[in-house]
Amino acid sequence: MKRILITGMSGTGKSAVIGELRRRAYRAVDLDTPQWSHWADAAPEDHLTPRAGQDWVWREDRVRDLLSRRDGEDLFVSGCATNMSKLFDVIDTIILLSMPLDTLMGRLAARRPGGYGHMADERRKIAELVATIEPLLRRSADHEINTARSVTDAVEDVLTLVKSR
């Protein structure tokens, strides 16, 4: 059983890829839900958090339990959180989803009102995170996939990488 983390900045397609994997009957869990993540206090001076003074982080105990189960099937999880490195010891492969910044900004602007990244201030934060955090994600990733293409293409790339390991 392989445990595969699909990570990347907001708007790179993590939820779409995990949804397509689920549709194809793979075990796939989006960690960006209240079951797996929660709001936690953040430094008030951190101006890049989604909410002032709060960050959306993984529920480490629940995610560790999920990733530690050994039932024979590969498990795909998606998400990006400031505390995710604490769980790298129970993850076999990390795949970073990325795309050119102008494509990402267009995709975020097209989100429905209320979707994170739709507002200009949110996109400004995300652009800064791409510049500062994405290089760190790249260093921890085993593979990187450009998701400026279709979700189907991205999923095929993910499956090819997983099968080759």
Domains of the chain listed by start with CATH number: 3-164 (3.40.50.300)
What is the amino acid identity at position 90? V
Helices and strands (H, E) in the chain, number of each type = 6, 7
User: Residue 19 has what pLDDT?
Assistant: 98
User: Residue 41 has what pLDDT?
Assistant: 87
Say if residues 145 and 95 touch (Cβ distance below 8 Å): yes
User: pLDDT tens digit string along 28-87?
Assistant: 999 999 999 999 888 888 877 777 888 899 999 999 999 999 888 899 999 999 999 999
- The two three-digit tokens of residue 81, written as one number: 């959180």
Of residues 61 and 117, more confidently modeled: 61
Global pTM value: 0.93
DSSP 8-state symbol, 1? -
Alpha-carbon gap, residue 150 to 35, rounded angstroms: 28
Say if residues 80 and 8 touch (Cβ distance below 8 Å): yes
Alpha-carbon gap, residue 28 to 21, rounded angstroms: 6
User: Residue 53 has what pLDDT?
Assistant: 83
* pLDDT band at 105; cut points 50, 70, 90: very high
